[in-house]
């Protein structure tokens, strides 16, 4: 809970400082401005509110690492289908986010994030249901943390003066990416670099590819 509270708080600080102009700055998410990513995060906090009130009726079928396997890059027809779905969702987010005045979007995020954190602390269910999965509540919280930490990096590319992402949140991101890759990521990469390169937000250089060996073919581990 502590790193989730920290990274949600950091997102709130950035959101509260947005102007109509700065909200339109590009993020690290292709095709999305800062406000688009913030709206996407708002939908995640809303989903969290539902999940914390939805006990699963079965044992967990995924955890904080395997939850992300469907998001790995695909090949062939599956890649084309995935790209089409992603483009439709990206368009949806842009349309909805553009309807919000930036202060209204920031306020919606602030209130919903705070409510999601309260719901997480009060959740009595050991296993919750979301997106067709059953996860232990602590694993579900870890998925929220992963998402928020990566998107904080996406948003703050536009704001170099923003404080660095919470270290514990980035450590969790590294743990998940290494679990998906089945191998440690380079010790020379700090946790922020792991997050950005492991999700394809920063390229892996030719020199790094040579050092990585077979692991290079698995990057990015999440598309």
Does position 82 have pLDDT exceeding 80, yes or no? Answer: no
189-215 exposure pattern, b = at least 16 Cβ within 10 A, e = fewer: bebbbbbbbbbbbbebeeebeeebeeb
Q: Are 128 and 58 in contact (CB under 8 A)?
A: no
| Full domain range(s) for residue 50 | 2-166
pLDDT reported for residue 110: 98
Q: Are 170 and 191 in contact (CB under 8 A)?
A: yes
pLDDT tens digits along 131-175: 999 999 999 999 999 999 999 999 999 999 999 999 999 999 999
d(CA 26, CA 222): 21
pLDDT reported for residue 71: 84
204 within some domain: no
200 within some domain: no
128 within some domain: yes
Domain harbouring 54, CATH code? 1.20.120.450
* Residue 32 zone, left/alpha/beta (φ > 0; ψ -120 to 50; rest): beta
Q: pTM of whole model > 0.85?
A: yes
Q: What is the mean pLDDT of the chain?
A: 94
Does position 106 have pLDDT exceeding 70, yes or no? Answer: yes
Most confident among 74-78, 148-152, 206-210 (mean pLDDT): 148-152
74: confidence class by pLDDT, cuts 50, 70, 90: low
pLDDT reported for residue 81: 66
- What is the number of structural domains in the chain? 1
141 within some domain: yes
CB atoms within 10 A of CB 54: 14
Average pLDDT over residues 96-117: 97
Beta strands in the chain (DSSP E): 127-130, 133-136
């Amino acid at each position: 809970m502590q790193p989730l509270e920290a990274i949600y708080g950091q997102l709130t600080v950035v959101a509260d400082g947005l102007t109509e102009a700065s909200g339109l700055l590009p993020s690290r998410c292709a095709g999305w401005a800062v406000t688009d990513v913030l709206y996407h995060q708002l939908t995640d906090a809303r989903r969290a509110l539902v999940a914390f009130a939805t006990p699963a009726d079965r044992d967990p079928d995924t955890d904080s690492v395997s939850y992300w396997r469907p998001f790995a890059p695909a090949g062939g027809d599956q890649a084309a289908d995935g790209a089409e779905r992603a483009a439709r969702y990206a368009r949806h987010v842009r349309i909805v986010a553009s309807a919000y005045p930036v202060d209204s979007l920031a306020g919606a995020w602030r209130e919903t994030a705070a409510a999601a954190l309260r719901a997480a602390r009060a959740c009595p269910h050991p296993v919750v249901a979301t997106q067709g999965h059953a996860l232990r509540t602590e694993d579900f919280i870890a998925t929220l943390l992963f998402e928020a930490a990566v998107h904080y990096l996406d948003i703050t590319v536009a704001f170099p003066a923003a404080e660095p992402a919470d270290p514990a949140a980035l450590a969790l991101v590294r743990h998940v990416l290494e679990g998906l890759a089945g191998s440690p990521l380079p010790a020379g990469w700090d946790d922020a670099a792991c997050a950005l390169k492991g999700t394809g937000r920063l390229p892996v250089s030719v020199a790094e590819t040579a050092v990585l060996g077979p692991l290079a073919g698995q990057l990015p581990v999440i598309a």
